[in-house]
Amino acid sequence: MLLHIPEVLTREELAHARMLLANADWQDGRATAGHQAIDVKHNLQLPATGDTARELAALVQRALARQPLFMSAALPKVVMTPMFNCYQRGMTYGNHVDNAVRTDPLSGQYVRTDVSSTLFFSEPHEYEGGELVVEDTYGSHRVKLPAGDLIVYPSTSLHRVEPVHSGARLASFMWTQSMVRDDAQRAMLFDMDMAIISLREKVGNCQELVTLTATYHNLLRQWAEL
């Protein structure tokens, strides 16, 4: 499931984050690449243990926690500490699949990567190229979102960042270990949750809606790993 969540950040949060990123000390992104990705990764990244990255990560975590769409789609058990990258002219990240298990840079906790997310800090007109391309059974999906918007997709997906031709692409990336590891099951639960919310707004809490809600929670009870 590929999901676009708009306006994850407020205007004030976005302005503050962009100010911090504009004055940040970047390092070679290959420092955190796995064996598969190191040959195709060419970008800049903030050291996760630095003060700027810690402040930005806390900002992003607060924003995600108040997003019901993210909660419904990802069903998070653990959200790994958000990290931050920058692509300038000529930088790219070739086709790769995210490592199945990663270590949180702050807590040291092992996290199974079920759901990948990218939060954009640059406006689309501020850089040329740099699209996130996610491959699935329905083809290639090119993603270039407004600043403050989030894209969520399965970590099992083959994906890449196209070369940046001008400007700078600033973003946060993070992984989530979901309570429901199977993407198809998460997608069904998300669709059901969205239908329940829509029906409740239209017809109120009728008996059929109570039954549908009970089915949602019974499926979640059956599939969730805690």
What is the spatial distance between Cα 111 and Cα 29, in angstroms, rounded to a whole number? 20
Q: What is the mean pLDDT of residues 107-122?
A: 98
Quickly tell me which residue has 């190229």 as its tokens.
129
Amino acid, res. 17: A
Q: Name the nearest CA neighbour of 162 among 92, 98, 72.
A: 92
Q: Where in the chain is the domain with CATH 2.60.120.620?
A: 3-178
Q: Which residue has the tokens 């270039």?
A: 144
Taking the C-alpha atoms of residue 104 and residue 89, their distance in angstroms, rounded to an integer, is: 29
Q: Could you give the CA distance from residue 19 to residue 41 in angstroms, rounded to a whole number?
A: 25
What's the pLDDT score for residue 39? Answer: 80
CATH of region 183-223: 4.10.860
Annotation-wise, does 96 bind a ligand? Answer: yes
pLDDT in tens, 7-38: 999 999 999 999 999 999 999 887 666 566 66
Which regions of the chain carry the CATH code 4.10.860?
A: 183-223
CATH class of 3-178: mainly beta
For the segment 72-86, the average pLDDT, to the nearest whole number, is 98
Query: pLDDT tens digits, residue range 61-72?
Result: 999 999 999 999
Query: Known binder of ligand: residue 165?
Result: no
- pLDDT (tens digit, 9 = 90+) per residue, 164-196? 999 999 999 999 999 999 999 999 999 999 999
pLDDT of residue 29: 81
Is the per-residue pLDDT at 87 higher than 80? yes
The alpha helices in the chain, defined as continuous H runs, are: 11-22, 51-65, 68-74, 183-203, 207-223
Residue 159 labelled as part of a binding site: yes
